[in-house]
Amino acid sequence: MTPANREALSRLLAARPTLVDVRPAIEAVPGMTRDTILHAGPPIEWPRMSGPLRGAVVGALLYEGRAAAPADAERLAAAGEVAFAPCHHHDAVGPMAGVVSASMPVLVVEDRTHGHRAFAPVNEGLGRVLRFGAYSADVLERLRWIETALAPALGEAIRQADGVDVHALIGQALQMGDECHNRNRAASALLVKTLAPRLASLDLAPAARRQALAFIADNEHFFLKVAMAACKAALDAAHGIEGSTMLTAMARNGTDFGIRVSGLGDAWFTGPAGRPEGLYFPGFGPDDANPDLGDSAITETAGLGGFAMAAAPAIVTFVGGSPAEALSTTRRMYEITLGEHDAYRIPALDFRGTPTGIDLGLVLRTGILPVINTGIAHRRPGTGQIGAGIVRPPLACFERALEAAAAAPRGVAG
Amino acid sequence: MTPANREALSRLLAARPTLVDVRPAIEAVPGMTRDTILHAGPPIEWPRMSGPLRGAVVGALLYEGRAAAPADAERLAAAGEVAFAPCHHHDAVGPMAGVVSASMPVLVVEDRTHGHRAFAPVNEGLGRVLRFGAYSADVLERLRWIETALAPALGEAIRQADGVDVHALIGQALQMGDECHNRNRAASALLVKTLAPRLASLDLAPAARRQALAFIADNEHFFLKVAMAACKAALDAAHGIEGSTMLTAMARNGTDFGIRVSGLGDAWFTGPAGRPEGLYFPGFGPDDANPDLGDSAITETAGLGGFAMAAAPAIVTFVGGSPAEALSTTRRMYEITLGEHDAYRIPALDFRGTPTGIDLGLVLRTGILPVINTGIAHRRPGTGQIGAGIVRPPLACFERALEAAAAAPRGVAG
């Protein structure tokens, strides 16, 4: 391994992401303005946005009161009146459409080793939700309840607890059948367990306490956004190491798949977003699927998700395949990673650490593409999740990164 | 399989244990009196009781106000002033010493298929606790807090929720790395998650709500007693089938190991309790260990614990061995069981059901003894847990049961 990659990997592993607060994006997220709408994946403008992303943008403009009706919102967006930016350009990550606007609360995760912060929106639950492009009245009402009731309570409980050690929590969850991307049942329960005593003693009406806890407890994917922000914080610590070929982001905006590389600055190397292969909910099939969407592949970039499938044999009932394939998927990922995670360990592999730190050089040399567990969004805005499965980045991302590396002052040194 | 064994197994699998209440033993447990002290395992009188069981009896007499000092309590017990009875004779199960006295609250689990109930005391946490024979002031104070604060709140939350489906919860926990005997981390978190919204909205002081939730949330073995009562309820549904050679209880009192067989009435078939093999906490070794103790082997009798080790590879850090051995342990248990559980499934074995329904005939024919995951108690009362490991029943239990079966009107028909 090159010194640059050793440094990048060691910073990634040294990170100690801690959930420290929940605050409005406008207060917490650097560079956020009232005009800004963040989205998942690499940069994209309105004309090239896919259905679910457009729907979520419309929803955010309605929620912020910048438009009174969907048609007004679309006009505003098409007229260039909205400052679109990737979540990743603002230290944030968003699931699926990944839309974050000024008033939305964000989870604040701090890397207590290196000191910086990363952000992700609060999970809205399943069904009709903004992240799948829904913007009906119930969706906006739930967003306002999250803003005015849930987020302040959650933030208070987290501050009272002096933060929640997400690094340790993920380590536990991997021993409990989660891979912390498409399966978060254990991690979500552990998070509820950690915060329940504080939430229960807040000075709120009994029904408000109950509602807040029930909302979190009934959502077994609640933890995903915490995991995403934690992975983003850890990878940001490893970004910008000159000469390093380690990936620090994989992200999709529903049209393009993009990667970032530690030693190649803030450039995105993109290719067309693919369609996941997996299991569809009854009544849906591949023709209904939007191309791959969301910043959640940040989990794979940090050694979780598809890379940790061997820890989560039960996930095959959700994404397809067999428990044996879950083991072999993880085993294959060791071939394209720089190391093994020292805190994220897999019992079924004799407690071996998850494959961590995807190397551009190893991917190109072996031809093995990273495996990403993902949800599948309907291509029509607001229909919601229609399945889950596995997707891989297009090879073009890696080839373009290689060209950039070759042109870089020190060349590529995978 | 004989019709009698088919009937016993099918009743065991049809049971739907549901946690329905928490109530004082004197009100809930059939035949309980103010003079009664229930204990783990087969019947035993004071002179033959081991250290931890004696300590727990002393603690219960102090807690009930029947003795003012330990020496008084011992005199009372030795004078025959205490009505000792196995938990199992009162539809109950107790961990380790298994001592239950009149004022202690018990978890009430109802089998919603067959209608009867089973009981187990509330988990006190780790460290110095009654079930390991401790009876210092802090132990008794905690028992009183459980009686007056925790149990009423817990009971209210459970009743408001119209019960907790323990059958489904165990099924989930097995997909999350628990075997529900020595590893209950997932099940305990799921239980907290289920009850937290109700507990949070009870009309109690904020600190009381917080304390109740924190006590449950901080104890990753809290669920064990729920699992034990659920297994007892399910096995009681299968007890008393004429001609059936299926085991309906395995239990230890710290001196004797006893088994019960569905078709052989309420008789116990006993042999000397062994010493577990496993991992000791720092500073302790096999010489400190009490012989095997507690009713918790009811979990193995119902297809959990050691029989479900393949679901819980991470448990090897607690009881010893390797993840591969956890798989082979479960695989071996299929050779002595009548069937596979339809709701308790193991992802790592391609979702095969756990080996369930230990058959007397199969044990004797194969010579394979049931594997039991267990905690190890110090032989001195009150020292507490000093390790965890694996233990097997003495063959004598099975040989004596065979003799009884041969003498029974219809003979043994394994």
Domains and CATH numbers, chain A: 240-407 (3.90.1700.10)
A347 touching chain B per CB within 8 A: yes
ipTM over 0.85: yes
Say yes or no for a CB contact (<8 Å) between A209 and B200: yes
Residues of A in contact with B178 (CB under 8 A): 176
A204 touching chain B per CB within 8 A: no
Among residues 317-346 of chain A, which lie with CB inside 8 Å of chain B?
317, 322-324
Instruction: Give the mutation candidate from A172, A176, A179, A222 for the B interface (greatest B CB count, under 10 A).
Output: A176
Say yes or no for a CB contact (<8 Å) between B214 and A197: yes
A287 burial type by CB count under 10 A (0-12 exposed, 13-18 middle, 19+ buried)? exposed
How far A192 CA lies from chain B's nearest CA (Å)?
6
C-alpha B389/C-alpha A408 separation (Å) is 58
Calculated CA dihedral for residues A198, A199, A205, A210, nearest 10 degrees = -140
C-alpha A380/C-alpha A169 separation (Å) is 36
DSSP one-letter code for B286: G
A49-64 CB burial, b ≥16 within 10 A, e <16: bbbbbbbbbbbbbbbb
As given in the structure block, the two tokens for residue B333 are 């248990």
How far A200 CA lies from chain B's nearest CA (Å)?
4
CA angle A235, A236, A241 (to 5 degrees): 95
As given in the structure block, the two tokens for residue B77 are 């017990």
Say yes or no for a CB contact (<8 Å) between A197 and B217: yes
Question: What's the confidence (pLDDT) of residue A414?
Answer: 43
Question: What's the confidence (pLDDT) of residue B192?
Answer: 97
Taking only the tens of pLDDT, chain B with its 414 residues reads 999 999 999 999 999 999 999 999 999 999 999 999 999 999 999 999 999 999 999 999 999 999 999 999 999 999 999 999 999 999 999 999 999 999 999 999 999 999 999 999 999 998 889 999 999 999 999 999 999 999 999 999 999 999 999 999 999 999 999 999 999 999 999 999 999 999 999 999 999 999 999 999 999 999 999 999 999 999 999 999 999 999 999 999 999 999 999 999 999 999 999 999 989 999 999 999 999 999 999 999 999 999 999 999 988 888 888 999 999 999 999 999 999 999 999 999 999 999 999 999 999 999 999 999 999 999 998 788 899 999 999 999 999 999 999 887 655 544
Residues of A in contact with B172 (CB under 8 A): 185
β-strands A83-86, A36-39 pairing: parallel
Question: What's the confidence (pLDDT) of residue B381?
Answer: 86
Q: What is the DSSP string of B228-280?
A: HHHHHHHHHHTTT-TT--BEEEEEEESSEEEEEEGGGTT--EEEE----EEEE
How far B213 CA lies from chain A's nearest CA (Å)?
5
Task: Report how far apart, in Å, the C-alpha atoms of B127 and of each of A348, A350, B124, B131, B133 are.
Answer: 30, 30, 9, 10, 11
C-alpha A179/C-alpha A182 separation (Å) is 7
As given in the structure block, the two tokens for residue A212 are 């807040």
**Of the candidates B107, B60, B52, B117, the residue with the CA atom closest to the CA atom of residue B83:** B60
Task: Report how far apart, in Å, the C-alpha atoms of A185 and of each of A300, B159, B368 are.
Answer: 18, 25, 36
Q: Collect all residues with Cβ–Cβ distance below 8 Å to A101 and sequence separation of at least 6.
A: A25, A36, A37, A38, A60, A61, A63, A64
Q: Collect all residues with Cβ–Cβ distance below 8 Å to B265 and sequence separation of at least 6.
A: B240
How far A197 CA lies from chain B's nearest CA (Å)?
4
Task: Report how far apart, in Å, the C-alpha atoms of B171 and of each of A65, A144, B77 are.
Answer: 46, 36, 42
Q: Interhelix angle for B151-160 vs B206-217, to 10°?
A: 90
The SS3 assignment for B184 reads coil
B293 close to B50: Cβ distance less than 8 angstroms = yes
Residues of A in contact with B318 (CB under 8 A): none
Which residue's structure tokens are 């083991």?
Answer: A327
Q: Collect all residues with Cβ–Cβ distance below 8 Å to A279 and sequence separation of at least 6.
A: A318, A319, A320, A387, A388, A389
Say yes or no for a CB contact (<8 Å) between A196 and B213: yes
Closest in B196, B203, B322 to A350, CB measured: B322
Closest in B192, B211, B348 to A323, CB measured: B348
Strand partners, A101: A37
A228 touching chain B per CB within 8 A: no
B314-323 CB burial, b ≥16 within 10 A, e <16: bbbebbbbeb
Q: What is the pTM of this model?
A: 0.95
Q: Collect all residues with Cβ–Cβ distance below 8 Å to B371 and sequence separation of at least 6.
A: B300, B306, B307, B309, B329, B332, B333, B390, B392
User: Alpha helices, DSSP H only, in B23-136?
Assistant: 25-28, 51-63, 70-78
A146 close to A100: Cβ distance less than 8 angstroms = no
Task: Report how far apart, in Å, the C-alpha atoms of B143 and of each of B60, B257, B277 are.
Answer: 10, 28, 31
Strand partners, A282: none
Say yes or no for a CB contact (<8 Å) between A314 and B217: no
C-alpha B10/C-alpha B356 separation (Å) is 11
Question: What's the confidence (pLDDT) of residue B414?
Answer: 43
How far B312 CA lies from chain A's nearest CA (Å)?
8
Say yes or no for a CB contact (<8 Å) between A210 and B201: yes
Rg over alpha carbons for chain B, rounded to the nearest Å, is 20
C-alpha A202/C-alpha B140 separation (Å) is 30
B18 close to B158: Cβ distance less than 8 angstroms = no
A290-301 CB burial, b ≥16 within 10 A, e <16: bbbbbbbbbbbb
C-alpha B107/C-alpha B125 separation (Å) is 15
Residues of B in contact with A188 (CB under 8 A): 193
**Of the candidates A100, A77, A80, the residue with the CA atom closest to the CA atom of residue A90:** A100
Low-confidence ranges of chain A (pLDDT < 70): 409-414
How far A178 CA lies from chain B's nearest CA (Å)?
8
B354 close to B174: Cβ distance less than 8 angstroms = yes
Closest in A189, A212, A314 to B347, CB measured: A314
Instruction: Give the mutation candidate from B193, B316, B345 for the A interface (greatest A CB count, under 10 A).
Output: B193
Q: Collect all residues with Cβ–Cβ distance below 8 Å to B279 and sequence separation of at least 6.
A: B318, B319, B320, B387, B388, B389
Residues of A in contact with B149 (CB under 8 A): none
Provide the residue type at B5 as one letter: N
C-alpha B113/C-alpha B130 separation (Å) is 33
**Of the candidates A259, A323, A369, the residue with the CA atom closest to the CA atom of residue B348:** A323
Task: Report how far apart, in Å, the C-alpha atoms of B374 and of each of A338, B38, B305, B410 are.
Answer: 40, 20, 9, 35
C-alpha A123/C-alpha A102 separation (Å) is 16
C-alpha A288/C-alpha A379 separation (Å) is 6
C-alpha B78/C-alpha B82 separation (Å) is 8
The SS3 assignment for A196 reads helix
**Of the candidates A69, A101, A77, the residue with the CA atom closest to the CA atom of residue A87:** A101
Closest residue on chain B to A326 (Cα): B348
How far B142 CA lies from chain A's nearest CA (Å)?
19
